[in-house]
Chain A
């Protein structure tokens, strides 16, 4: 393959990535391209406000930094790297399993090593570009407040993007080698979900165990962390120093990122073809269902509920997606356990976290059961009214939420019955609201489109997020400032009413 052909293929890859991203932003509707770009620019501009609130006060930081500051900056960069790694693992897995052009590429008269090198580079470029996009408001705030030396932070984002892509490619291909293509998809997705949330949760768990608070900064700024951290001239602090404008550290970091990616491409691009071929041949292995047993008797709704539960239970991809939300329940659960022995007011923090998680989880489950129907023709042509089908699907969501959250609420009863009651009401209302939004904005889609469910209706996505946040705040306020809870509850109900009003007309 000539260098011209390689350049052409690189352009092709970038064009595909751009169109995939655009389709995600516009829900596949061509006419929305300009609106999506304008909306994104407005969103990016607005993001400068929360970025200022979070990071604005650090703009004046100057080298040399004390250990606590180094730890906080390094941990933040590591968190960004972990999120990029999570995204990159998903991208690599998607290339193996979901790209429809593998047959064409692999049957074409070109050197596969070259062509897959370009594809790996495209993954790195996409991951880095997305990271730069999200980092821009934060870096802008630092540059505006602290000077152009902070522009070096863009270089750090590029460097960690390159290393995240390199590690993701190596991890995924090694998983293929170790556990085979049939398990890699599941494991890679779960690993991606755990990496994405794991670092924050681990810090929270450490903070709860050591200091009895959900704040991760308690660990990072503690004397114990400072005592344990390496000296100021350690390479561990290169990313932090590079962010502050240390040119030497930045160049070394970029060189390391490029070298690592180059090495991974050299080692793995040859194997990528073989791995891709094995993945496509084994994308859907023969898996056995439940043991042979007699057909169940029951009503038509029972049949529907059984089907929905079986599909939820057997969908490892969904498990990995939901895992992220459920992982956030680990710190409050741990805090609850620790609070049995004292009367810490920090226990109140559990309620909004649990209510928020219930709303988000119900939204995901609601989409899967209500919109994500893989055999819509079968359900529509079945001899039962559409209202009964919908009712059975809603029941599944609420039952699942009940089963998942009941143990936590039961434990809360032992610590604080009033808080348990408020939490139970909050969970019920948040889950019902999220399910209702999914019902009002329902679309017909395949379950495999779950990851892109937000693109079908941005309004539904925002309404669901604001509803969960609103009910979480209401529940927290109900325990501390009941009058404010009334205001917050009314505002959230107004959001729901507005969502219902603007939702597509339903028969």
Chain B
């Protein structure tokens, strides 16, 4: 792991729908870092991450994934990236194992590598009894776990997750957090949006706060506390203060 290398480098990223959703955003995430992106509803978090994942073309700016220009060479960037949205989109008529087989096929992973990895992932997420059941009867939490396993089966080096813990019970959430922690320890980079500030507080190496499409604060928890001038304050208090201040400026 080279802490100086960027896993993600975003410069001047801009997207406008009816209004400006992302406003010339600059963001750098280092390799092997767990980065939490926080912000109120409609702040531009998901739009930013969708542009990074190649789901949405930006109006302006650049996106570099592990040194690969994601706008000029999207295929190479996608090969090392995984995306998990807050709404688990999987195929109802496939079983979890078949879904992972399909994902591995799309990323060109050899079956001899993909199959044991798929079985391990599904087992670690508690889905072993459901390996051969079609996903159509699964709860939202189970579907989210299948989607997450799909994102991890091709061993991505950059994992982008948009609210991955939505709909998961406490035990499943712990499984997911453990799995993500393992990946980060193995040198993988994780960027995650979440409204559960306790998760960001406990897991993230660095936290970015986005409001009105701009990064209004960034740093480790200690750095953010220092900036707020109160070393005992909680992330929740800091977050609310930052968002309120930004709303007052707007």
Contact = CB atoms under 8 A, between A and B. Distances in A.
Contacts of A306: 102, 105
Instruction: Determine the interface band of chain B, counting residues with CB < 8 A from chain A.
Output: 35 or more
Dominant SS at the A interface?
A: loop
Interface residues of A, number: 36
Contacts of B93: 310-311, 314-315
A64 B134 CA distance: 60
B91 to A, nearest CB: 5
B94 A307 contact: yes
B144 interface: no
A375 B130 CA distance: 20
Contacts of A50: none
A300 B105 CA distance: 5
A306 B102 CA distance: 8
A381 B81 CA distance: 8
B92 interface: yes
Nearest to A375: B89
Interface stretch (A22-30, A39-47, A382-390): A382-390
B69 interface: no
Which of B98, B106, B132, B136 has the most chain A CB atoms closer than 10 A to its own CB?
Answer: B106
Contact of A303 (B95, B105, B137): B105
A371 to B, nearest CB: 15
A283 B24 CA distance: 46
A382 B106 contact: yes
A286 B133 contact: yes
Interface string B70-113: 00000110110111010001111111011001111111101100
Contacts, number: 114
A295 B104 contact: yes
B41 to A, nearest CB: 20
Contacts of B101: 295-296, 303
B201 interface: no
B133 A289 contact: yes
B133 A288 contact: yes
A297 interface: yes
B150 interface: yes
A311 B98 CA distance: 11
Given A296-B101, A381-B81, A381-B82, 17 more contacts: A287-B137, A288-B132, A289-B95, A289-B97, A289-B98, A290-B132, A295-B104, A300-B105, A303-B101, A307-B102, A310-B98, A311-B91, A377-B53, A377-B85, A382-B103, A383-B108, A384-B106
Can you list the 4 inter-chain pairs with the closest CB atoms, starting with the nearest?
Answer: A303-B105, A295-B111, A289-B95, A383-B79
Interface of A: 284-292, 294-298, 300, 302-304, 306-307, 310-311, 314-315, 374-385
Interface of B: 53-55, 75-76, 78-79, 81-83, 85, 89-95, 97-98, 101-108, 110-111, 114-115, 118, 130-134, 136-138, 150
9 contacts: A288-B134, A298-B105, A303-B106, A306-B105, A377-B89, A381-B55, A382-B106, A383-B76, A384-B106
